[in-house]
Amino acid sequence: MNLNLLATTSIEFPNLHISLNNLPKSFSLFGVDIAFYGVIIAFGMLAGIALVCYDAKSSGQDYNLYIDFAMYAIIFSVIGARLYYVVFSWDYYSAHPLEIINIREGGLAIYGGVIAGVITCIVYTKIKKISFFKVADSAVLGLIIGQIIGRWGNFFNREAFGQVATSKNPFMMRIFFDDNYSINQVPDAVRIGMENLKGMDLSEIGYIQVQPTFLYESVWNLMVLILMLIFRKKKKFDGEVFLWYLFGYGIGRFVIEGFRTDQLIMPVTGWPVSQALSLVLAVVAAVVVVVKRVKISRQEKMA
């Protein structure tokens, strides 16, 4: 086997005493360049399928239905995630149309994947004549574990980080410049923030010091998943676990998105599209859960 690690970058978490020297972004296997981003996304998908199948089997459902659904959901979710990213980055892709199909460098927006996945689930359950909401309650467990793992693809790609972090931030991340990560890739907001913080030109500093928002989101999603697993047997109606996901992920993403420097912006309004969507979904999910639970509670008392 011919395995060669390609261009590397050093990354440090000084306050956590973690130093990762010469961290590769990709590797070459038998002459084929393979990005860690893609490997991690694929691993997240497999882990998600495994968890969904386990949940389906333990709840008396046919897990083969979920394996079948996953094949369609993965394909259309990747397409949806890419389209969402391209649409809200159209200024760039309209000038570089051939880059639209290049996902090796990242450029997948999770909400596009979620929207496409939900549509796929609606169509699939209608064809199979099974409950969309029951399937969604199990499928969403695989979705969020895929997000937990998939965010680490952003780490290897040196993307989806936040604003400049001060030395007091315990999770402060430093990304050093070399052949794999250059000054030209640094967002203007981070460049200005670093130069103001250090009082010198960025080329003299040699690194950026930012908030690891990919880490924030991965940890937040892990907590949401744990709560979903603990309380899923206490749900009052089919679709409630799915709504918990929309609320939990929405709240976390709304806050974390505010720290990011690579936001996708809605035309005219100038609002970060994922932040606005997160707030809407979280509010709607919370209202629906409360209304449904109150209604069910009243019915139980009258019975």
State residue 153 phi and psi, 5-degree precision: -65, -35
Q: Is 151 annotated as a binding residue?
A: yes
214 falls in which pLDDT band (50, 70, 90)?
very high
Query: Comparing 225 with 6, which gets the higher pLDDT?
Result: 225
Q: Which of 54-58, 90-94, 170-174 has the lowest mean pLDDT?
A: 90-94
6 falls in which pLDDT band (50, 70, 90)?
very low
Q: What is the pLDDT of residue 129?
A: 95
104 falls in which pLDDT band (50, 70, 90)?
low
What pLDDT digit, counting tens, does each position of 277-290 carry?
999 999 999 999 99
Q: What is the pLDDT of residue 105?
A: 63
Query: Comparing 135 with 59, which gets the higher pLDDT?
Result: 135
- The CA–CA distances, whole Å, from 61 to 54, 131, 136, 230 equal 10, 12, 13, 19
* Across 40-63, average pLDDT: 93
What pLDDT digit, counting tens, does each position of 12-25 carry?
999 999 998 888 88
Q: Which of 36-40, 194-198, 242-246 has the lowest mean pLDDT?
A: 36-40
256 falls in which pLDDT band (50, 70, 90)?
very high
Q: Retrieve residue 61's tokens.
A: 């459902």
Q: What average pLDDT does the structure give for the chain?
A: 89
Q: What is the pLDDT of residue 281?
A: 96
5 falls in which pLDDT band (50, 70, 90)?
very low
DSSP the chain: --EEE-SEEEEEEGGGTEEEEEEESEEEETTEEEEHHHHHHHHHHHHHHHHHHHHHHHTT--HHHHHHHHHHHHHHHHHHHHHHHHHTTHHHHTT-GGGGG--TT----HHHHHHHHHHHHHHHHHHHT--HHHHHHHHHHHHHHHHHHHHHHHHHHT-S-BSB--TT-TT-EEEE-SSSS-GGGS-HHHHHHHHHHHSS-HHHH-EEEE--HHHHHHHHHHHHHHHHHHHGGG-SSTTHHHHHHHHHHHHHHHHHHTTBSS--B-TTT--BHHHHHHHHHHHHHHHHHHHHHHHHHHHHHH-
